[in-house]
Amino acid sequence: MLRNVLNDLVGFVAGLDHDDRGKLRRAIDGIGGGHVSGLFRPSFQRSLMELYGRARLPLPDRDELKTFIDERNAVVHGYWNPSPENALPSHRLAEYGTNLLEKLILRFFRYDGPYYDRTIGEATPFEHKDPGW
């Protein structure tokens, strides 16, 4: 009885797409152990975009961002190729992530001045802007 009521309520949960509703209904029915992995957690990309917005950093190139996120997902979710041929692209993407972290630190400490951007290999101006956090 409780499962039927919960399944009926799934249709009223805002922000769920068709696939998410299916996952939630399967969890309620006990299929797959009743586990709903990350259903209500924002994606890494969404969290990253929010971070860029709050720090008032310019958004990176869309293709480069997608490559970074895909590589990060491969590492985090266990399907990364650790072969020597894959080492250089992975190193490049690690520089990309480090660059973001450095910019966040500079923003946090209200830095204004030249900044060595490791993604382009040269010094560029870094303008202070008040972050929205």
Segment 92-112, tens digit of pLDDT: 778 888 888 899 999 989 999
Type of residue at 121: G
Residues 69-91: pLDDT tens digits?
888 888 877 777 778 877 777 77
Residue 125 — pLDDT band, cuts 50, 70, 90?
A: very high
Look at residue 58 in the predicted model and tell me its pLDDT.
Answer: 87
Task: Specify which of 28-32, 45-49, 121-125 reaches the highest per-range mean pLDDT.
Answer: 121-125
Shortest CA distance to 64 belongs to which of 80, 48, 51?
48
C-alpha distances in angstroms, 26 versus 1, 15, 22, 41, 72? 15, 18, 6, 18, 28
User: pTM for this structure?
Assistant: 0.60
Give the pLDDT of residue 112.
93
Tell me, what's the pLDDT at 88? Answer: 74
